[in-house]
Amino acid sequence: MVVPALAEHNIGVAASVEKDVTGSVSGRITRLMTGGEVYGAEVIVTAAESRAQIKFRNGSDLQIGPVSHINLDSRVYSGALGAGSVLVNTTKGVFRFIGVPGGHALYQVHTPTATIGLRGTIFSVRVETGGTDAVVEEGTIEVSQPRVPIARR
């Protein structure tokens, strides 16, 4: 087993993995397994009919649906965004995020068409070419345009 670099420190665990889910850290792709560690700067990709549930060290939960691409930011838990912050970047797919109940951690989600900021909220996001849909189940979110335009292919 290769130990990730300091910037790619353990930020949680794969609480459940169904079918074909991979994690990539520093260009090294491995199959994500239930109970396996998840790292900052890791890119998680789910195939068709596949899904994963990530439990972060601060108690928040990320449920990733089929055909999704999620990048867990390397600044999570490093102090760069503050203790307990969670920052994910996604280019496509569906996921559900559950923040820590009553928690005040900073959560941010970046997509090609929106930046979503929240605190202790339960919400779902779908990212497709040309748009981002968010459904709030509990709490509030703030949605804005991304700071830097993302080039279209």
Element at 132 (helix H, strand E): strand 131-138
- CA dihedral in degrees (43, 45, 51, 53; nearest 10)? 0
Find which of 68-72, 118-122, 128-132 is predicted with most confidence, using mean pLDDT: 68-72
Instruction: Provide the β-strand partners of residue 109.
Output: 88, 116
Give domain 6-144's CATH number out of 2.40.160, 1.20.120, 2.40.50, 2.60.120: 2.60.120
Element at 146 (helix H, strand E): none
The ranges assigned to domains in the chain are 6-144
Query: What three-state secondary structure class fits 117?
Result: strand
**pLDDT tens-digit profile of 61-115?**
899 999 999 998 755 544 444 444 567 788 899 999 887 766 555 677 888 888 8
Query: What three-state secondary structure class fits 119?
Result: coil
* Long-range pairs of 149-152 with CB within 8 A, sequence gap ≥ 24: 150/112, 150/113
Which pTM was predicted? 0.79
pLDDT for the residue numbered 139: 78
What is the average pLDDT across 16-23? 97
